[in-house]
Amino acid sequence: MSEDNVVLCDDASESKGVPRPMGEAARLGHLVLLRHGQTKWSDSGQYTGRTDLPLGREGRQQAVQSGKRLREAFPGGFDASCIFVSPLLRARQTAQLAGFGEFQVLDDLAEWDYGRAEGHTEQEIGAALGRPWNVWRHGAEAVPADMGVDWVERLETGEQIPVRHTSGERLEDVAARTRRAVSKVAPMVLAGSDVLLVAHAHVLRVLATQWLGVDPCAGSLFRIDTAHYAVLGYYKSEPVVERWNA
């Protein structure tokens, strides 16, 4: 093969249909990803997918501070038509406490449905299996069936939150719906708007891979802490990560 035919990097993002700027763009916007504040389970390390936990005291404080950091980073703010939030309570509370009270709920931003892993820690699942378990590598379907027993989580406030177990989602399912979210918001970014998504750790990490056009498993390499944000954008027409876990 001649040097002219050597391909160093496949154009993955283009092959997967990630929208790109066409020609000279006057100003491109940014896609900002904000993870919700801390909850009881994010503190303990329990998988929190569709269980609708509220923010804890620290999580509410974190949400307020995240809003201040975002306004410093984006003094122009975000138009209400460019703010999309997961339907789950912890994300909606974070958006409101951060100062983004007007938003659109986007179902595709809901957290990964962990199935029988819901409410359990990685260590608990590994102990039940007799081997290490990781949701990225092994998926929810590998969790033992007897761990999928529903219960009620009681909070310090006295509130009772039902914990229900489903068959769960595969990583490919999460990637498919985050691609839909990217397809929805990318035209706004290309038109010069800054777009804010308020959601959850795993779904935002998968969404970042779909923005970049890489395998969703690469999301395991991105860490985003509670009430921290990331910024995606374009550089020389390529979709890129501009800032992460800020």
* 21 located within any domain: no
Other CB atoms within a 10 A radius of the CB of residue 69 amount to 15
Active site residues: 36, 111
- In this prediction, residue 97 carries a pLDDT of 99
Task: For residue range 35-63, list pLDDT tens digits in order.
Answer: 999 999 998 999 999 999 999 999 999 99
Query: Which residues contribute to the annotated binding site for substrate?
Result: 48-49, 90, 111-114
* 156 located within any domain: no
- In this prediction, residue 27 carries a pLDDT of 87
Is the pLDDT assigned to residue 158 strictly greater than 60? yes
Domain that holds residue 80: 26-116+166-243
Task: For residue range 217-230, list pLDDT tens digits in order.
Answer: 999 999 999 999 99
Which of these ranges, 1-5, 67-71, 83-87, 196-200, has the smallest mean pLDDT? 1-5
What does the pLDDT average to over 9-27? 61
Q: Domain holding 59: CATH number? A: 3.40.50.1240
Report residue 229 as tokens: 């944000």
* 5 located within any domain: no
- In this prediction, residue 43 carries a pLDDT of 87
Q: How many domains does the chain have?
A: 1
What does the pLDDT average to over 119-148? 96
Other CB atoms within a 10 A radius of the CB of residue 243 amount to 14
* 1 located within any domain: no
Query: Which residues contribute to the annotated binding site?
Result: 48-49, 90, 111-114
* 154 located within any domain: no
Q: Which helix (H) or strand (E) holds 231?
A: strand 229-235
Is the pLDDT assigned to residue 207 strictly greater than 80? yes
* 46 located within any domain: yes
* 84 located within any domain: yes
Report the chain's mean pLDDT, rounded to a whole number.
Answer: 93
Is the pLDDT assigned to residue 3 strictly greater than 90? no
* 96 located within any domain: yes
- In this prediction, residue 189 carries a pLDDT of 97
